[in-house]
Structure 1
Amino acid sequence: MFSFVARQAIFDANMNTVGYELLFRDSMTNRFPDVTAEYATAQIIVEQFLGAPLGRLKEYSTIFVNFPYELLIQGVAETLPKDRVIIEILETASPTPQLLKTVKQLSMHGFRIALDDFSLDDTWNAFLPYISIIKFDVREYTLQEISSYIAQKSQRLKNIILLAEKIETEEEYTAYKNLGCTLFQGHLFSKPVIHAANKLIQNQAITLKLIKEVNADAPDFGKIEALLKQDLALSFKIMRYAQNIAFNAKGIKNFRSQSLKDIIYYLGTNELRRFVLVSCLTSVNKVKTDDIYHQSLVRARFCELASAHSFSRHAADDAFIVGLFSQLDTIFEMPMTDLINQIDVSVNVMMALKEKSGPLYPWLQLIELYENHRWEEVSALSHRLGFNRSVVADLIKTATKWVNDIPVGRS
């Protein structure tokens, strides 16, 4: 399965690329599909910020994401990394008191906000102190109308960057540059370019159960942890989500969580519900879990069971993550180093996955040897770890049964 997004570059007056606007696509056809704005934005968040590693976006300095009214009011914008994202208020949004309150809060928390395709009158005056960028649609308004607005609002706009979008000719570029615009977007410079990437597929039955549990009157964090551990996609996404929340709330860039349980308690009920809103409700699908997902879950459970014989419960939690994420590089077709840098895991997990070393790696190595029927090496490594080969076989059998018992499809 692939995710699709069109990226349109944004340039400064010297034709340097300063960022990109992300535009939702559902195929290689370069047009907006017949979906709601809410669905499109939610999919972009899930696929580009939670499901797909930011290693694919290294060329970006700034990322513009369109937000419709409802998702802004629900606080979904706060789940994105504020150091990289500009929140773009869609033209369909109405300047209500509730939206103004949301925009003030986003600005107070350090988010940059762009006003896009808005009416050139006094309707949005109260929002201007909290706006970082104004985008003028040169196809919607004439040069004279835009010039008049800028002149009338000169004092209010003095700290706001002006961007001219849908520029198609050199004459338009020169005219709006002379008008005071310092950022530019349009087909003259760059058309939207579609990118396709592998994406993580959630188990539908586990997703539905998670939605139900998280939205219960008194969510059971133990049950939530158990559900997350049964799904590779959800585990990876909630780690990415927690990383964004930790950075946005406390400026923490190296949030080294020790386990899924730690993340659940760190987020708390309200953030878990928002995670469900963003990730789960837009990602229910009928695609069956791939063999590689099944194998990753078996590895995770085996590493957890095996390490529990030798280390602490905490180490077993880390060992589970090592097994679960051991094939992310194959799923995404990207180097493991780039992938692991996008989530916050313990040093031992990082060593095992990136460097194939450290105290947790032998458990992953053991099951990889077993999968490849390298029996002599299995026996030798098992002996060094204090097992015999029959115990390894029993643990793999137990792990496989645990995975096979995970429901697939609608429950």
Structure 2
Amino acid sequence: MFIARQPIFDKTKEVYGYELLFRGSNTSDAYNGTSAESSTAVVLGGLFEIGVDKIVGDKKAFVNFNYNSLMSNSIELVDPSTLIIEVLEDVEVDARLMRRLDSLHKEGYRIALDDFVQSIKDFKIVPVADIIKYDLIATPLDTIQDEVMEALRRKKVLLAEKVETEEEFIAARKMGFQLFQGYFFSKPVIIAGLKGKKPDITIYRRILNELHQEEPSFQGLAEILETDVSVAYRLVNVVSKKNEHDIQKGLKSALVKMGLTDFERWVHIMMLQDLSVNKPHELIRTSLIRSKFGELVANNTGSLYTRASEVSLMCLFSVLDAMLDLTMEEAMADLSISSDIKDALVKREGPLEPVLELAEAYEQADWEKLDRIASKLGIDSNRLGGWYMESIEWSDRIMEGV
């Protein structure tokens, strides 16, 4: 089973929920009308069997439903406190459907109208709907002003979909939208004529330079860490959590317990966390999921097996431009990393780049592209769904510790 998820943000750019996009196997097409019932059953079964918390955590799960899937009893597998029912725009509205939606609404399920193009005043489902989604490409903001005002008057929650830039996010929020979906959060905000100011990452640069020596020194690393009490404290804290005994012998002991490989990964994550101040938490979560997913892909790809750590780092840094509000070329300028990583991120080429492209295809539920890249890499795409779920779980554990 393949389940991709796309974040839905509130007005403060905190994640409110995830829309779940899915298919049953590597031979299925993307979500479409002919397979909607079976696909919805698959994702609801997955939510129930895998556990909703492992897919969306404590957030809401937005799932698309057509007429037949709305009539099925599979909806009740998922608790109404988690599931938001998205009624597809082409659903035929009849008395039977209205009775079912009214019943679901009374059970506590929240109902969203997907890709809404109808009249707020006339469309029969509006009275039982809680959320109304507008696709900003199909229905630009300047064409729906009156409808938006009427929806707000009726106390509906408005969700702007396909928000691709910060400017669109701000405009939609100003108009009255409360929820936002799209890739605006993962793109840099670059103002013409100005360059983003890079945060001070001197401590991390010194640590990484030591780690890249032929024979890195635990003592040398400890001495570098002693110059920054914040980073040193975080290291001791994370090592203490993983060991029953307190760290009594100082920073060098903490480093030895962690090991150089895990320490380098931890340094990269801490650096990204410091760089992502005032950015949505989902940005670093995306980088972590991509990092683990890329590592799992590389470990199972013959040509990249020995380069899994490079692939992981490439995916981890794939949103660095958005974190710094710089072009990717500017963001990469001062980092001591391999030319293949830089080529993948800046030029979108080279031997490592297909793994990043694979991760992005999965996030966007572009199943056709996913299969094409997986085939190119010599990977059985049936395994990708499991790796993606493993990556989500891993990122959640990391986020708890940082």
* TM-score, reference length from structure 1: 0.42
Structure having the higher helix fraction is: 2
Query: Rg larger in 1 or in 2?
Result: 1
